[in-house]
Structure 1
Amino acid sequence: MTVVSVSMPEDLLNRIDEFADEHGYTGRSEVVREASRNLLGEFEDAKLEDRDLMAVVTVLFNYETTSVEERMMHLRHEHEHLVASNFHSHVGSHYCMELFVLEGDLTAISTFVGKIRATKDTLSVDYSVMPVDEFGPGTLEAEMGHGHGHDDE
């Protein structure tokens, strides 16, 4: 197996170690491998391919981190064909929340979420994806939980 060196904040490493201990993992490598497989598999769901989708993406970041807010604005403009709506709000005295409503296909949505996740200094990225091409009795309820992911760092 190949050994990879990864840089991360000390508090995240401590959380990974605690998670490994609490959940019976053999160590942090096993946690990181499983998390990586889950992340890579999130958007590989055949039920969502070739369908019109709607996604809601919520990003939380520190108010004083202006580089994150600038990056959110850049992504909104870069993906204006995908972003149906965007909302910015202050949360408490130190945080901002950016909410994006997206309409598009699986590839476009997964690319957008990936770029959000790759933005340095975001505190939390949460999203949900649902198909909008087959709204009918019972369809929405059956599909709502599908494709939901959460990423806290």
Structure 2
Amino acid sequence: MADLERIGISLDKDLLSQFDALIARQGYQSRSEAVRDLVRQQLSRERIADPQAEAVAAVFLVYDHHAANLTEKLIAVQHSHLLHAISSLHVHLDEHDCLEIIVLRGQVAEINRVGENILSMKGVKLGRVNLVAV
């Protein structure tokens, strides 16, 4: 961080007090680092609003591993999108349910298409696609 620039911001006392309480709960060592993270988050949101932007995503899904052919379909989707599926994690939650986390990389529109394809498969109970700009 050799090229740091100092800036000043004005906040009313109540808002600053709430912000200080929030960053203390989250374990921040300084207001500056908390503000930097907020700026990074907003810039990332802006980038992933562009369907052509490059991003990574974790597709989280909970599914019944007894659902007919679902495991094979999930594997097939990952293999058919090898350039996009860069990793996966499989966790047994109980005797029926599994958590699968599939990491995808590519353009936002393509990630969303593949992610929604996965989440709409029969047997998937819950799911979410979490995008982050690269």
Q: Which runs of 4+ in 1 moved over 6 A?
A: none
Residue 69 of structure 1 corresponds to which residue in structure 2? 71
Structure 1 residue 50: Cα displacement: 2.7
Match of 2:113 among 111, 133, 136: 111
Identity of aligned residues (%): 20
Q: Distance in 2 between matches of 1:65 and 1:95?
A: 10
Query: 1:37-84 deviations in whole A, cap 9, x for unaligned?
Result: xxxxxxxx8733332101000111112124111110010101111011
| Unmatched segments (≥5 aa) in structure 2 | 1-46
TM-score (norm 1): 0.53
Q: Distance in 2 between matches of 1:67 and 1:129?
A: 27
Q: How many residues are aligned here?
A: 88
SS at match of 1:81: coil
Kindly indicate whether the alpha-carbon contact (under 8 Å) linking 2:48 and 2:55 is maintained by their aligned counterparts in 1: no
Query: 1:112-146 deviations in whole A, cap 9, x for unaligned?
Result: 012112211210111210101xxxxxxxxxxxxxx
Query: 1:2-47 deviations in whole A, cap 9, x for unaligned?
Result: xxxxxxxxxxxxxxxxxxxxxxxxxxxxxxxxxxxxxxxxxxx873
SS at match of 1:65: coil
Kindly indicate whether the alpha-carbon contact (under 8 Å) linking 1:61 and 1:97 is maintained by their aligned counterparts in 2: yes
Residue 47 of structure 1 corresponds to which residue in structure 2? 49
Query: Using a 3 Å threshold, how does the CA distance of structure 1 residues 46 and 93 change in structure 2: closer, same or farther?
Result: closer
| Unmatched segments (≥5 aa) in structure 1 | 1-44, 133-153
Query: Using a 3 Å threshold, how does the CA distance of structure 1 residues 47 and 62 change in structure 2: closer, same or farther?
Result: closer
Kindly indicate whether the alpha-carbon contact (under 8 Å) linking 1:82 and 1:103 is maintained by their aligned counterparts in 2: yes
Residue 23 of structure 1 corresponds to which residue in structure 2? none
Amino acid of the residue matched to residue 53 of structure 1? A
> Highest relative contact order (Cα 8 Å, sep 6+), 1 or 2?
2
Kindly indicate whether the alpha-carbon contact (under 8 Å) linking 1:52 and 1:103 is maintained by their aligned counterparts in 2: yes
Query: Using a 3 Å threshold, how does the CA distance of structure 1 residues 46 and 131 change in structure 2: closer, same or farther?
Result: closer
Alignment of 1:1-153 (within 5 A): 47-132=49-134
RMSD: 1.7
